Structure 1
Amino acid sequence: MSLLQASGLYAGYGGVDILRGTNLRVEADEIVVIVGPNGAGKSTAMKAVFGLVPIREGRVEYMGEDITNRPPERMVTRGIAYVPQESNVFPSLTVLENLELGAYALSGDHRPRMEKIFEIFPRLKERRHQQAGVMSGGERQMVAMGRALMVDPHLLMLDEPTAGLSPRLIDETFERIKGINQLGIGVLMVEQNARQALAAADRGYVLATGENRYEDTGPALLANPEVAEMFLGG
């Protein structure tokens, strides 16, 4: 049984389908990356899975359960966390307050989760009383991922986690994502830095006009000359 299985998704905005039969699969121990040109439907696919865009046709299963068109708050309580590309922190709140809000839907003592996140992101512990809005882009991305991890998810969904970051911070972000995956958390990621993302991925999907064009291991997609020429800049 796959951690996540999305089959034949048709979804979009205002009655216009952006996704046209899209399929996605994530196993429990995998990092899976979605790449493709602008307008390919990558972010729409993530939002459809998470219940932010209505699915007109198709099915999403999570751990064998049909979650098609479930509201996002239900996804969170089932162990799916989503980090959007933009507006992913509360800038006027401290790091600590941002993390605490990540666990709003859960009961019990959140301190063990908080300590685990501080182990993954030591810089957040150092700056836990600092407002998120005055932090660097890379630090804000750590806050966003940390808050998502407060729900102790089985699946972490990341939309363009390295957007706007320097090359050094991009490398650091990918290393953090690998570390999170090694904790037993499946990762589904949309990423503009396609070469680095595929190098880090167990499997990848190439989308174009809302349709699956290629699916293979990350290294195999990187080595595919057609993928390189059409989608990776040669």
Structure 2
Amino acid sequence: MSLLRADDLYAGYGGVDILRGLHLRVEADEVVVIVGPNGAGKSTAMKAVFGLVPVRAGRVTYQGEDITNAAPEQMVTRGIAYVPQEGNVFPSLTVLENLELGAYALKGDLRPRLEKVYEVFPRLRERRAQQAGLMSGGERQMVAMGRALMVEPQLLMLDEPTAGLSPKLIDETFRRIRGINALGIGVLMVEQNAKQALGIADRGYVLATGENRYEDTGSNLLANREVAEMFLGG
């Protein structure tokens, strides 16, 4: 049984389908990457799975349970965390306050959860009293992912986690994502830095006009000449 499956999804905005028969799956131990040109439906796919865009047809299942069109807050309680591309931190709050907000619905002592986040992102421990809005783009991305980890998810969904970052920070972000996966957390990620993302992916999907064009291991997609020429800039 897959951790997450989306089967024959049709979804979009204002009655217009952006996704047209999308299929994808994520296993519990995988990093899965969705790539493709602008307008391919990558972010829409993530939002449809997480309940932020209505699914008109098709089915989303999580651990075998139908979660199609479930509310985002229900997704979180089931163990799914989502980090959007923009607006993913509270800039006027400190790092610690941002992290604590990630677990606002949970009861009990948050310190063990904070320690786990600090182990993944040691810099957040050092900067825990700093306002998130005063941090660099890479540091804010750490805060956003750290806040998502506060709910101890089984699936982490990331929408363009390296957008706007320098090459050095892109490499660091991908290393952190692999480290999160090593904790036993499945990762589903949309990325414009397709080559680097596929380089860390167990499997990848190439989308075009809301449809699956290719599905394979990350290494096989990188080695596929047609994929490289059409979608990866040669």
State the TM bucket, normalised to the shorter chain: over 0.9
Q: Does 1:181 align with 2:217?
A: no
Amino acid at match of 2:134: V
**Alpha-carbon distance between aligned partners in 2 of 1:104 and 1:55, rounded to the nearest angstrom:** 28
Q: How many residues align?
A: 234
Unpaired runs of 5+ in structure 1?
none
CA distance in 1, matches of 2:10, 2:106: 32
1:6-63 Cα offsets, whole Å, 9 max, x none, are 0000000000000000011000000000000000000000000000000000000000
Instruction: Give the residue type in structure 2 aligned to 1:170.
Output: I
Deviation at 1:105, TM superposition (A): 1.8
Q: What code does the residue aligned with 1:28 have?
A: A
* 1:164 corresponds to: 164
- SS of match in other structure, 1:197: helix
User: How far apart are residue 213 of structure 1 and its match?
Assistant: 0.1
Q: For 1:106, give the aligned amino acid.
A: L
Matching residue of 1:46: 46
- CA shift, 1:178, in A, is 0.2
User: What is the alpha-carbon distance in structure 1 between the residues aligned to residue 93 and residue 156 of structure 2?
Assistant: 23
Map of 1:14 onto structure 2: 14
SS in 2 for 1:161: coil
The match for 1:210 is 210
Alpha-carbon separation, structure 2, partners of 1:214 and 1:187 = 19
**SS of match in other structure, 1:48:** helix
Find the counterpart in structure 2 of residue 131 from structure 1: 131
Cα drift, residue 108 of structure 1? 2.0
For the Cα contact (< 8 Å) 1:77–1:106, is it kept in 2?
Answer: no
How many Å apart are 1:217 and its aligned residue? 0.1
Q: Secondary structure at the match of 1:59?
A: strand
Residues 147-186 of structure 1 show CA distances to partners (whole Å, capped at 9, x for unaligned) of 0000000000000000000000000000000000000000
Give 1:1-234 correspondences, 5 Å limit.
1-234=1-234
In 2, Cα distance between the equivalents of 1:104 and 1:2? 29
Q: Which runs of 5+ in 2 are unaligned?
A: none
1:8 partner amino acid: D
CA separation in 2, counterparts of 1:170 and 1:157?
A: 17
Q: Deviations over 1:127-149 (max 9, x none)?
A: 00000000000000000000000
Letter aligned with residue 50 of structure 2: F
Contact 1:156 1:187 in 2 (8 A): yes
* Percent of residue pairs identical: 85
TM-score w.r.t. the length of structure 1 is: 1.00
Deviation at 1:106, TM superposition (A): 1.7
Shift >4 Å, 4+ stretches = none
